[in-house]
Structure 1
Amino acid sequence: MHLTLVGARALRPEGWSEAPLGLADGLLTDETSGRVLDLTGYWLLPGIVDVHGDGFERHLAPRRGALSSLEDGLAMAAAELAVNGITTALLAQFFSWEGGMRGPDFAEAMFAAHARLAPGQPVDLRLQLRLELGMAEHFPRAAALIRRHDIRYVVLNDHLPHAALLKGKRPPRLTGQALKSGRSPEAHLALLQALHAATYDTPGPARDFIAAHPHVLFGSHDDQGAAERAHWSALGATVSEFPETLEAAEEARRRDEPVVLGAPNVVRGGSHAGKVSAAELVGRGLCTALASDYHYPAPRQAALKLAAEIGMERAWALVSSGPAAMLGLTDRGELRAGKRADLVVLDPATGRVAATFAAGRLAWLGPELAGVVLG
């Protein structure tokens, strides 16, 4: 597809520009050729790169236990991503003792469905593995998934309720978690106790797993302080995803390590769990990327909200060039000739996406631009 976009304000690396922008053979170009689209009144922004999101889960299982075709579900998730201007998305899939949609069996089935579907999608669907430390016995199975599906980003989680188990107490929400996993509360508690005994304060398996995958980017999740961030950094998990305190984020930046924050936290105006405000960390320059987390509209909404305080250039970089650089995706994240033609046509009056192009292909077209594009 060869197109020339004219009339719009384009957010280029050097700032705003009203110069025409070309799309040719999936790439951006400064040359004008092909059909001309007049987008006067709209903004052209780099496509959003979402480094962590599990919003796809609602498409795979709209009701608990109601699993439809995983490929159809992923296709619907890709459509939602495009509607929200996300052109590259890492689908954050659990590999956890929690079972159900978070268990290893489901992870393998989901990744297989992704392999069948993803090559035909305009949105670049990628995989992130969220690996629970309690699954050390199953690390070889996780390693096989990384090799088979070329997974480049792994986040290590530890959701075991160690504090309660250390005190010999029954963990909170045990019954609900047991039902989700398909276990009885008694069997689930016994499993948690066994995993706690085997993994608590035992960093060796994680260190060895990271060392065995030198070409994979590793991160930790929910760092609670500077010491915990330093611990994970020493193991080789250099990304701090959703740090819970200012001290953890500051330690990451002191080490020149990426910090990923939740865009819903910015949109809401604070953490729903009472942790540090993402907007505060952004204001302090302690953010590399804003991620959708669980809500795909959030990166766009958060960037537009932050633009009033830090400027559109800095705000949009947190959902485009920042995350692209963190992932090593040097071919996207900016409206620059030679980059992938990933871009968002935004209506500045409403803040909504009017069209999304991914690798030069039309991934979403809103009714307000249908006449311009299809006419």
Structure 2
Amino acid sequence: MNKLELRLVGAQVLTPIGLGDMPLSLAEGQIVDDSTGREVDLSGFLVLPGIVDAHGDGFERHLAPRRGAMKDLDQGLIAAEAELAANGITTAMLAQFYSWEGGMRGPEFAEQVFTAITAIGAGVMTDLRAQLRFETSMLEHYDLVQKMIARHGIGYVVFNDHLPHEALEKGKRPPRLTGQALRIGRNPEKHLEFMQGLHARMGDVPNALTKLSADLLTQGVLLGSHDDRTVEGRAAARARGVTIAEFPETAEAIEAACAGKDPVIMGAPNVVRGGSHNGNVSAIEMVMMGLVDALASDYHYPSLRRAAFLLADSGVTDLTAAWALISSGPAQVLGLADRGELSPGKRADLVVMDAKTRTVAATIAGGRVSYMSGEAAARFVGAS
């Protein structure tokens, strides 16, 4: 596909040294020192690094807009990619469950999603990448999940444990069990029995998880843990090579991660809301303390850019550092050294925003247009 060769002038451009009025040149899918391409006047706009989303499951809304409507996953992903681009996201890690919960979180659906991501990947502009979220209690699936990871070339795996252990340990019926079971077409009593069986074998999980982690590390797979709560839990994860801490729930877990130099990813919606929706640690407070390496969309793509501006406007940090939390920060966490900032030699990933309204006017991913509208589109198209 053709890649733009342009020289953008007149805009306020965010580089690693700050926001300034300077030209930005693109050629062959990269940021370059200068370009002989067309000149586009973007006065009145901001040009910022393309957003790198390290973890998001908002794409699920496009795959199943109604219960049971899960037929054409490729078309759903194409619609999700359009939403990503319209929000300035140029690289997206699509977080897909592999869980005992079944339905859209079950192994069969995960296989379909990963197949669809591969099928549409070359035809969309946004760099779509797969993340597998594995429920560690599924001991009988360790070999199967490892084969799935290899089959689809998945480069980032996160370990979860969402079993309601406290209720199961007490012999109680977990909340929402009936609705969850019926949603996936399973008898509630059978579903409870299945969960109890998984809970009873949790003592076997640590050794199995250690072996799986070691095997995946030899394949170059990044490993993360989800919802860390304790210092001990983070230390155990680190000992296995599970170094990325996704959405840790307590200040103690975050401080333990930072002490061990483990990257910390927090949710952008947590920042936008002013706190966690379920009472966990405040992302804003953790950013203020310098304990967060990246923000992720979690379940809401628009929250990424909104979080960055909120942090800058409120004086928590300046725009350069705030935007780094959604661009160069997640790029570094994911090992993507070729993107995340507007400097020569990096991928031409950028978002053009109206300087007054801060609405996304254009998104360019790898030197190709993924989204464009309004006055910015008219200037690009009318450039001569």
Band of TM-score, shorter chain? over 0.9
What's the CA shift for 1:17? 2.8
Partner residue in 1 for 2:244? 239
Aligned equivalents of 2:225, 2:142: Cα separation in 1: 16
Aligned residue identity for 2:356: A
Written as runs of structure 1 = structure 2, the 5 A alignment for 1:62-211 is: 62-200=65-203, 202-211=205-214
TM-score for the superposition, normalised by structure 1: 0.98
Instruction: Classify the secondary structure of the residue corresponding to 2:137.
Output: helix
Aligned equivalents of 1:329, 1:147: Cα separation in 2: 20
1:99–1:182 contact (8 Å) kept in structure 2:
no
Aligned equivalents of 1:234, 1:74: Cα separation in 2: 36
2:264–2:292 contact (8 Å) kept in structure 1:
yes
The C-alpha deviation readout for 1:273-322, integer Å capped at 9, x for no partner, is 01111111111111011000000101111001001220101100000000
Query: Quick one: percent identity of the two aligned structures?
Result: 58
Written as runs of structure 1 = structure 2, the 5 A alignment for 1:348-359 is: 348-359=355-366
- The one of 321, 330, 334 equivalent to 1:323 is 330
- The one of 336, 340, 344 equivalent to 2:347 is 340
Partner residue in 2 for 1:258? 263
What's the CA shift for 1:162? 0.7
Partner residue in 1 for 2:53? 50
1:331–1:340 contact (8 Å) kept in structure 2:
yes
Aligned residue identity for 1:176: G
Matched, 1:28 2:31: yes
- The one of 293, 299, 302 equivalent to 1:294 is 299
Structure 2 spans left out of the alignment, 5+ residues: none
1:20–1:30 contact (8 Å) kept in structure 2:
no
Aligned equivalents of 1:80, 1:49: Cα separation in 2: 14
Of 76-85 and 224-233, the range deviating more from structure 2: 224-233
Partner residue in 1 for 2:5? 2
Instruction: Classify the secondary structure of the residue corresponding to 1:63.
Output: coil
Instruction: Classify the secondary structure of the residue corresponding to 1:107.
Output: helix
Aligned equivalents of 2:215, 2:205: Cα separation in 1: 17
What's the CA shift for 1:370? 2.2
Aligned residue identity for 1:369: A
What's the CA shift for 1:134? 1.6
The C-alpha deviation readout for 1:110-168, integer Å capped at 9, x for no partner, is 11111110112110000000000122211111111211221111100000111111111
TM-score for the superposition, normalised by structure 2: 0.96
2:13–2:19 contact (8 Å) kept in structure 1:
yes
Instruction: Classify the secondary structure of the residue corresponding to 1:213.
Output: helix
Written as runs of structure 1 = structure 2, the 5 A alignment for 1:274-285 is: 274-285=279-290
Aligned equivalents of 1:350, 1:137: Cα separation in 2: 52
Aligned equivalents of 2:145, 2:183: Cα separation in 1: 22
What's the CA shift for 1:52? 0.3
Runs of 4+ in 1 over 4 A off after TM superposition: none
Aligned residue identity for 1:266: V
Of 182-191 and 133-142, the range deviating more from structure 2: 133-142
Aligned equivalents of 1:127, 1:202: Cα separation in 2: 24
Aligned equivalents of 2:80, 2:223: Cα separation in 1: 25
What's the CA shift for 1:200? 4.5
Aligned residue identity for 1:128: Q
Written as runs of structure 1 = structure 2, the 5 A alignment for 1:222-233 is: 222-233=227-238
Aligned equivalents of 2:15, 2:264: Cα separation in 1: 24
